[in-house]
Amino acid sequence: MIRSLPLLALALAVVSGCAAPEGRTAVEKKAYAMSVRDEALAELYAREPQARAQLEAAPGYVFLSGFSLHPGILTFANAYGIVQNNKTGTQTHIRLTRMGIGPGIAVKGYYLVVVLNSEEAIDAIAHGRWSGGGLAEASFKFGDFGGSAAAEGLGGSVATESYLWTHTGVSLELAAAYGKVYPEEDLK
């Protein structure tokens, strides 16, 4: 176990630096995060036309853009994103750090959109919370070549629907994961 600690530390360091909005200022980072969200939502609506109505009718939703590394039995992910409160129009910029365990291999960039079912769920996500869940995915996606098939289950009762897909990279994984979502302090 002691031998694997340097690998664990390296994996966490690599993953933590790989998913951050581009830009030098808070305004540039917010604009970049919103443009990535808009591109991802356009891709989602093209693939799943019913998703637009679900997101618009829901109290809110979460968008995450992340990087995941799964070198065997442990999985690590880091993401940035936006919690959208549809009732108030408020947008909260957030970060996600996740670790998990399960068989697999993955190096991928991914998008996750979660339809939130209540004002309480929006507040819980926007103000930071720990959450458990699981995921299964098989993907091979580079540019317009390839595809992704994924399923994710979130702990608790915050979501009515979630959409997870790899936008670049490869994965074949099954994992139980636990993560922390927290506000992006420098983007308030």
> Do β-strands 60-85 and 129-142 pair in parallel, antiparallel, or remain unpaired?
unpaired
Domain boundaries, the chain: 2-187
Helix, strand, coil percentages (3-state) for the chain, rounded to 5, are: 30, 55, 15
Residue 140 has pLDDT above 90, yes or no: yes
Residue 152 confidence class, pLDDT cut points 50, 70, 90:
confident
Asked which of 13-27, 47-61, 140-154 is least confident by mean pLDDT, the reply is: 13-27
Choose among 114, 56, 115: nearest CA to 89: 56
